[in-house]
Amino acid sequence: MASIYRNVALAGVFALAAAGSAQAQSSDRMVVYDANGTTVRWTLQFGANLVSEGDLFWSLSQGAAPGSGYNPDATWLELYARPGLTFESALDNGVELYGGVSAVGSYTIGTDAFDTGDTGRITLEDSYAGLRLPLGSGTGLDLSFGAQSLRLGTGMLISDGASDGFERGALKFGPRRAWEMTGIGRLTYGDLTGTLFYIDPRERPDSDGENALAGLDLRYDDPAGGYLGFTYVDVLNSTSPYPQAGAGGVGPPSVIPGAREGTETINLYAATNPLGGALENFSFTADLAYQWNDRIDLEAWAGRAQVSYAFADAPWSPVISYGFQTFSGDDPNTTGLERFDPLYYDGSPSAWATGSKSAMLFINSNVQSQNLSLSLQPTQRDTITLRYAHVRANELRSPLQFGQATRLDLAGATANVVTGVTDPHLSDDFFIEYRRIINRNTFLTAGVSVSVPGEGIRNVFPGDDPNWVGGFVNVVFNF
């Protein structure tokens, strides 16, 4: 059925483009057809990202697998292009038909952080069609299907619908976002929006967990600027396993095959309006998630609270923010499973990354972090952001990432196999990012970062434990 939907969207878009390529009537150079209530536009985005890393993953590979040949120092170049077409067509009684198609071509030159390089792929990105139906009295219904993007709430659970890196290249850029297949129904009434969804992620062939999810999202957007929302997600199908800590934290983790199937999650998210009085320049946001799966005795939780203060009258318009985020880990002293599954979250530093560098190693499970950021805007085109994250484990001797840090512990009178860390302090990450709007289509971003290992990491393989450092510079063109 997925291929049928894609073919419908492709045929409709290309037929419109072919019919109108000689009739473009707009000053917008990306418009290829604009007549009789129908508009067809080209879209194009491409970018280049140069990355250099030193002592990747704090050079733990030298202790874990010294004979592997893995080089913890790496420099590579990522390239991608995303051409596409979109169309909108006004029908009778205010009904609107729309759709789009696009592809992503990406490539990595050199060897990246996961020891993969000189490779890339061309994959379908968008291929969708939709219908907007006005229902009167400020009410509208939007129905769409096919391959397209979907982000819910703050991106805590549902945001990134496609995988990058490895054979697809562009590991850090991550240009793919669209889900391989969706069915989305969105009903709006004034400032209220309700969304029913079915999504199937575009996973890499060698790690495809056959995942399919469905659920709903209810959201209220206050015209003054705040919002309040609720998301429910149910994993309908999955072969993805979960790890479970060894009893008492001793021994390797066990693996529960197909554990993700049946996992259900609810997420409450909120942000305040602009406040008045003594709190005039403050803003607050919060997320809270609860997760369960009765089939495997799973009960997990996660949350985040953030406060920001804007120095409205100060030069460079500084904004300082503090946040605390936490994701439960599996308690090795219980028979149940408490490991939070973050699903398909937005892992960018401005969203749900746990540490600027540590997020490459730790997914949002069995970790917590305190995050401090300062944003400065010396000009309307320039933004400088400084970020600091103090990252810790929630549960000791419990998996941080699938099977991560399983080893022989020689401390004490006996030797035991353990997983995870024996001290909660994982790392301290520092990140300075600079962004420049060169023109309306061109954007430059550069950054340098360092991750200082905590005692939890230092105790895994005692030794030199160097700081993990790196930097990048990229340019994105968006038309």
pLDDT at 404: 59
pLDDT at 26: 44
Question: Which two structure tokens, joined as six digits, stand for 71?
Answer: 């080089």
Query: What distances in angstroms separate CA 330 from CA 306, 337, 366, 417, one per listed residue?
Result: 25, 6, 7, 17
pLDDT(25) > 80: no
pLDDT at 414: 44
Q: Name which of 135, 149, 30 is nearest 93 in CA terms.
A: 135
DSSP-based three-state secondary structure for 133: strand
Q: DSSP secondary-structure letter at 130?
A: E
Are 421 and 456 within 8 A, CB to CB?
A: yes
What is the pLDDT of the chain when averaged over all its residues?
Answer: 90
Q: How many CB atoms lie within 10 A of CB 210?
A: 14
Domain boundaries, given as residue ranges, for the chain:
255-452
> How far apart are the C-alpha atoms of 117 and 108, rounded to whole Å?
5
User: pLDDT tens, 401-413?
Assistant: 855 555 544 444 4
Sign of torsion, CA 458 461 466 470? Answer: negative
> How far apart are the C-alpha atoms of 237 and 259, rounded to whole Å?
10
Q: What size, in residues, is the chain?
A: 479
pLDDT at 403: 55
Query: ∠ CA(391), CA(396), CA(397), 5° rounding?
Result: 125
User: pLDDT tens, 171-217?
Assistant: 999 999 999 999 999 999 999 999 999 999 999 998 899 999 999 99
Q: Which residue has the tokens 């309306």?
A: 440
User: pLDDT tens, 85-126?
Assistant: 999 999 988 999 999 999 999 999 999 999 999 999 999 999
400 conformational bin, left if phi > 0, alpha if psi -120 to 50, beta if neither: alpha
Q: Which residue has the tokens 């997420």?
A: 267
Among 183-187, 267-271, 356-360, the minimum mean pLDDT is found in: 356-360
Residue 199, H or E segment: strand 192-200
Q: What does the pLDDT average to over 412-428?
A: 74
Q: What does the pLDDT average to over 283-289?
A: 97
Q: What does the pLDDT average to over 354-374?
A: 95
Burial class (CB in 10 A: 0-12, 13-18, 19+), 125: buried
Kind of pairing, strands 254-256 and 242-244?
antiparallel
Q: Can you name the CATH fold of 255-452?
A: Porin (2.40.160)
Contacts of 348 (CB under 8 A, 6+ apart): none
Q: What does the pLDDT average to over 241-267?
A: 93
pLDDT at 14: 35
Give the percent of the chain with pLDDT over 70: 91
Residue 62, H or E segment: helix 61-64
